[in-house]
Structure 1
Amino acid sequence: MSDALLLHLSDLHFCKTEERDPAPELRKLLCKAVGTVVEEAGPDVRVGLVVTGDLIDSSDTPAERIADVFRSFVHDLREVIGSAPIVLLPGNHDRRIGGVFAPWSTRAMQDLEAAVSGDGCTYVHAPNADEPLAHSVHELSSVLGVNVVAYDSTHAIEGKISAGGLFRTTDLLAVPGIVGCDKPVVLLLHHHLVPTPVTDVGVMDTSHTTWFERNFVQRFLPWLVSFADREELFMTALGAGTTLTLLGSLGSATVVLHGHKHYPTARLLRATQAGDGDVLIASAGSSGTLEQYRALGPRERTFLWPSFNAVTFRGDDISIETVFFSPKGTRPNVRQVLARATRKGASWEGSRVEGPSISEVRVASDEAEFLLRPGGVGLWDVSCLRRLGTPPGSVRSYQEPLDALPRAEISGERVSVEPNGRVTLRVDPGETSYRATSALVRTVGEARRRNAGDAFSPFQCVSLKVRRGAGLARLVLRGLPRAAEICFGTLTDLNTGQERPIALEPADDGVSLVVPFCPARRLLRIHWPLETA
């Protein structure tokens, strides 16, 4: 059989209110990115598409709005994928108001099914509360050459507040042909089985809620239950551990494809008992939103581009790749391999994939040198020299936010304060410098005074955000006693938020973090522990 391609979309969150709904152009850009992947795969590749939940943003969306948006969306998809089968699964936002508040409902998915029923090749898997939650998806199984099963993990029909669900092993065991199957089993669902990186400690987004809802989530919930305002505690589906054990005991090589956390990642769980199968888990990011995460500190948010996964089946080989697309349509797609593996019986023999490589060197070097001096009580004064090593005019200037304490006094020729109070530095080719008094916390006591509860951290850091591909990225820290003994470095991929440790090098009176041929959107950081006295 020829190669097969499964386009895995998730978390569209269409049909928001007028002020929050992504512009129709974003849906057009998504379809364009899907079309590019299909075109690059070639005309002989068999194609299928699945959306694993959160198609709409709230279950109380009017039926006419659902019909208008999804008839147009499916029409645009058909322009690029032809008559390939499209399978739609519900998420918590399709079942509850705002994805959180009761009642658990089937109405929105019924309205959506009615809206796309005329297409003929679009299928909705959204069982009622008294029906089995798992079914074989023959339309995708025949295209992909694997055994595809859809599971509705949104089963949370009781309770006034929930973004989670339930896994029942009996529903999976009732699906014929999944036990000891001689083909891979592909399980489609919305909720995650294992925590996803970066988002697993994130606080629930309350930026578009009422005053009461915001205070309920931010104050009352964590007072009642520790960390109850965090997504991982509030958004999981019960029975995930039991389900993982069951999937291994099926005796088949299994692939789990899910969404829910708006973050692309892949994990391979190897079997530990004879006769069991391996489980390859891949999460898709959000295809319809810009996911926010705080990689730059508590006051500075970073955004993930919208994305979807492209899962390629080539004989016994599988490749899972994330495709990020520009929300403004001004940049080419960014493709990043999450996993590659070969099926051998019930096992997946994974091959390690390289991280994204630098595609374009825009600047010769991007450097930041920090000098610390004791300032106010329990605080550091900071001097910084920024260097952008590129010929003038080849790269435009940009505003770089400065991560300093709220009342720090910052001075420099190119420092400016925005109306919202955010302080930025205009970075031009060549050298730029600034000074900040009482800019960083120096002692544990001062950090504890300024940060309550789990917001407290016994570490401090300085950072360099590389916006363009650089032939050399370099972050230097000076003025810290015993820096070589206590400091450690990390490199964060701002496309995914994943942070990795990186070795430091000695520098005059300090340490440096050096990354040759550094790709764009990388964050270099040097950390050190706070003083205890």
Structure 2
Amino acid sequence: MSDALLLHLSDLHFCQNKERDPGPLLRQLLCKAVGTVVEEAGPDVRVGLVVTGDLIDSSETPPERIAEVFQSFVGDLRQVLGSAPIVLLPGNHDRRIGGVFAPWSTRAMQDLAAAVSGDGCTYVHAPNADEPLAHPVHELSSVLGVQVVAYDSTHAIEGKVSAGGLFRTTDLLAVPGIVGCDKPVVLLLHHHLVPTPVTDVGVMDTSHTTWFERTFVQRFLPWLVSFADREELFMTALGAGTTLTLLNSLGSATVVLHGHKHYPTARLLRATQAGDGDVLIASAGSSGTLEHYRALGPQERTFLWPSFNAVTFRGDDVSIETIFFSPKGTRPNVRQTLARATRKGPSWDGAPVQGPVISEVRVESDEAEFLLTPGGVGLWDVSCVRRLGAPHNSVRPYQEPLEALPRAGITGERVGVEPSGRVTLLVQPGETSYRATSALVRNVGEARRRHLGEAFSPFQSVSLKVRRGARLARLVLRGLPRAAEITFGTLTDLNTGQERPVRLEPADDGVALVVPFCPARRLLRIHWPLETA
């Protein structure tokens, strides 16, 4: 059989309120990006598409709004997919108000099924509360040459508050032919079986809620239950560990595709018992939102480009890529490989993939040099020199947020203060500098005294955010006693949120984190422990 391509979308969150809804432009850009991937795959590749939940943002969305958006969306997909099968699964947002609040409902998914019923190749898997949660998807199985099973993990019909669900082994075992299948088994679901990076410690987003809701989440919940303001507590589906054990014991090479957490990642879980199968797990990012997360500290958020995954089946080989697309349509897509593996009976022989490489050198160098000097009691003063090595007018200037404690005194020629109170530095080709007094905490006692709450950590750091591909990225820290002994470095991919350790180099009287040929959207950070005295 020819190669097969499964486009894995998730977490569209269409039909948001007017303030948050990205509107038809993002939907059109998503369909365009899907079309580009299909075109690049070639005319002989068999194609299918699945959306693993959170199709809409809230279960209370009016039927006419659901019909308007999804008839248009499926119509646009048909322009690039032809008659390829499309499978839609529910997420917690399709079942509950805002994805969290009761009642658990089937109404929105029924409205959605009715909206796309005229398209004979679009299938909605959304069982009622008293029906089996797992069903084979024959239309997609025949196209891909694998056994596809859809599982509705949103079963949470009781309780007033939940974004989680339920996994039941009986529902999977009831699927004909799933035990000892001689083909790869592809399991489609919404919730995660293994926590994903970044979000497993993330705080619930309350930026668009009322004062009462923010106070309830940020103050009352963590007072009542430790870390109750964190996403993971309410977002996990019950029975994930049992389900993973079952998937191994099926005796088949299994691929699990899910969404829910809005971050693309992949893991290979090998069997430990003879005759069991391996499980390759891949999550998709959000295809319909600009997901924010706090990679730059508790006060400053960055955002991911919307994305989807492309799963390619080539004989016994499978590869999984993430395709990020510009939310404004101004930049080309970015493709990043998550995993590659070859099926050998019930096992996956995983092949290491090359990390992201620079696709375009936009600047010759991107550098930041920090000098620490003792400031107020228990504090550091900070001087920083920023250099952007590029010809004048070749790169558009941008505002870079500065990391410093509240009420720190920050001065510099290109320092500005936004109406929100955020302090920024205008970065453009050439060199600029700023100085911040009482900018960083120096010891644990001062950190505790300032009631940093969730932001408290016995570590401090400085960072450099590389916005454009640079031939050389360099972050330097000076003025810290015993820096060579106590510091360590990390490099974070701001497309996926993945953080990796990086070795530091000596630099005069300090240390440096150097990344040659650094791709765009990377965060370089040098950390050190706070003083205890």
The two structures have a TM-score, normalised by structure 1, of: 0.99
How far apart are the structure 2 equivalents of 1:393 and 1:166?
Answer: 55
Q: Which residue of 2 aligns with 1:301?
A: 301
Q: Deviations over 1:401-429 (max 9, x none)?
A: 11111111111111111111111111221
Q: Which residue of 1 aligns with 2:7?
A: 7
Q: Which residue of 1 aligns with 2:92?
A: 92
Shift of 1:212: 2.2
Paired residue secondary structure (2:38) = helix
How far apart are the structure 2 equivalents of 1:451 and 1:466?
Answer: 31
Paired residue secondary structure (2:11) = coil
How far apart are the structure 2 equivalents of 1:492 and 1:289?
Answer: 21
Matched to 2:19, the amino acid is E
Q: Which residue of 2 aligns with 1:417?
A: 417
How far apart are the structure 2 equivalents of 1:428 and 1:252?
Answer: 54
Q: Which residue of 1 aligns with 2:333?
A: 333
Matched to 2:472, the amino acid is L
Structure 2's unaligned 5+ residue stretches are none
Shift of 1:455: 2.6
Q: Deviations over 1:263-285 (max 9, x none)?
A: 10000000000010000000000
How far apart are the structure 2 equivalents of 1:325 and 1:80?
Answer: 16
Matched, 1:480 2:469: no
Matched to 2:57, the amino acid is D
How far apart are the structure 2 equivalents of 1:384 and 1:104?
Answer: 52
How far apart are the structure 1 equivalents of 2:232 and 2:7?
Answer: 26
How far apart are the structure 1 equivalents of 2:322 and 2:163?
Answer: 25
- More displaced stretch, 302-311 vs 425-434: 425-434
How far apart are the structure 2 equivalents of 1:303 and 1:516?
Answer: 24
Shift of 1:394: 1.8
Q: Which residue of 1 aligns with 2:518?
A: 518
Matched, 1:373 2:373: yes
How far apart are the structure 2 equivalents of 1:397 and 1:18?
Answer: 30
Shift of 1:150: 0.4
Q: Deviations over 1:492-512 (max 9, x none)?
A: 111111111111111111111
How far apart are the structure 2 equivalents of 1:149 and 1:289?
Answer: 27
Contact 2:470 2:519 in 1 (8 A): yes
Paired residue secondary structure (2:2) = coil
Paired residue secondary structure (1:320) = strand
How far apart are the structure 2 equivalents of 1:462 and 1:207?
Answer: 26
- More displaced stretch, 130-139 vs 489-498: 489-498
Q: How does 1:279-318 map to 2 (within 5 A)?
A: 279-318=279-318
Q: How does 1:114-193 map to 2 (within 5 A)?
A: 114-193=114-193
How far apart are the structure 2 equivalents of 1:6 and 1:49?
Answer: 5
How far apart are the structure 2 equivalents of 1:453 and 1:272?
Answer: 41
The two structures have a TM-score, normalised by structure 2, of: 0.99
How far apart are the structure 2 equivalents of 1:72 and 1:487?
Answer: 53
Shift of 1:453: 4.1
Paired residue secondary structure (1:118) = coil
Shift of 1:467: 1.2
Q: Deviations over 1:163-185 (max 9, x none)?
A: 00000000000000000000010
Shift of 1:449: 1.2
Shift of 1:400: 1.2
How far apart are the structure 2 equivalents of 1:389 and 1:262?
Answer: 34
- CA distance change for structure 1 residues 368 and 452 in 2, over 3 Å: closer, same or farther? closer
- More displaced stretch, 201-210 vs 120-129: 201-210
Contact 2:263 2:497 in 1 (8 A): no
Contact 2:185 2:252 in 1 (8 A): yes
Paired residue secondary structure (1:419) = coil
How far apart are the structure 2 equivalents of 1:99 and 1:301?
Answer: 22
Matched to 1:10, the amino acid is S
Paired residue secondary structure (1:117) = coil
Q: Which residue of 2 aligns with 1:72?
A: 72
Matched, 1:346 2:346: yes
How far apart are the structure 1 equivalents of 2:219 and 2:405?
Answer: 24
Shift of 1:393: 2.1
Q: Deviations over 1:354-391 (max 9, x none)?
A: 11100111111111111111000100111111111222
Paired residue secondary structure (2:266) = strand
Matched to 1:521, the amino acid is R
How far apart are the structure 1 equivalents of 2:509 and 2:181?
Answer: 63
Matched to 1:264, the amino acid is P
Q: Which residue of 2 aligns with 1:201?
A: 201
Shift of 1:210: 2.1
Paired residue secondary structure (1:119) = coil
Matched to 1:229, the amino acid is D
How far apart are the structure 2 equivalents of 1:43 and 1:92?
Answer: 36
Shift of 1:216: 1.7
Paired residue secondary structure (2:433) = strand
Paired residue secondary structure (2:179) = coil
Paired residue secondary structure (1:94) = helix
How far apart are the structure 2 equivalents of 1:515 and 1:273?
Answer: 41
Matched to 2:260, the amino acid is H
Matched, 1:220 2:220: yes
Matched to 2:184, the amino acid is P
Q: Which residue of 2 aligns with 1:463?
A: 463
Q: Which residue of 2 aligns with 1:356?
A: 356
Matched to 1:53, the amino acid is G
Q: Which residue of 2 aligns with 1:238?
A: 238
- CA distance change for structure 1 residues 238 and 487 in 2, over 3 Å: closer, same or farther? same
Instruction: Give the fraction of aligned pairs with identical amino acids, expressed as a percent.
Output: 90
Q: Deviations over 1:469-521 (max 9, x none)?
A: 11111111111111111111111111111111111111111111111111111
Shift of 1:452: 4.5
How far apart are the structure 2 equivalents of 1:453 and 1:69?
Answer: 42
- CA distance change for structure 1 residues 236 and 291 in 2, over 3 Å: closer, same or farther? same
Q: Deviations over 1:136-170 (max 9, x none)?
A: 00010000000000000000000011000000000
Q: Which residue of 2 aligns with 1:504?
A: 504
Matched to 1:107, the amino acid is R
Matched, 1:530 2:501: no
How far apart are the structure 1 equivalents of 2:10 and 2:428?
Answer: 39
Q: Deviations over 1:35-76 (max 9, x none)?
A: 000000000000001000000111111111100100000000
Matched to 2:267, the amino acid is R
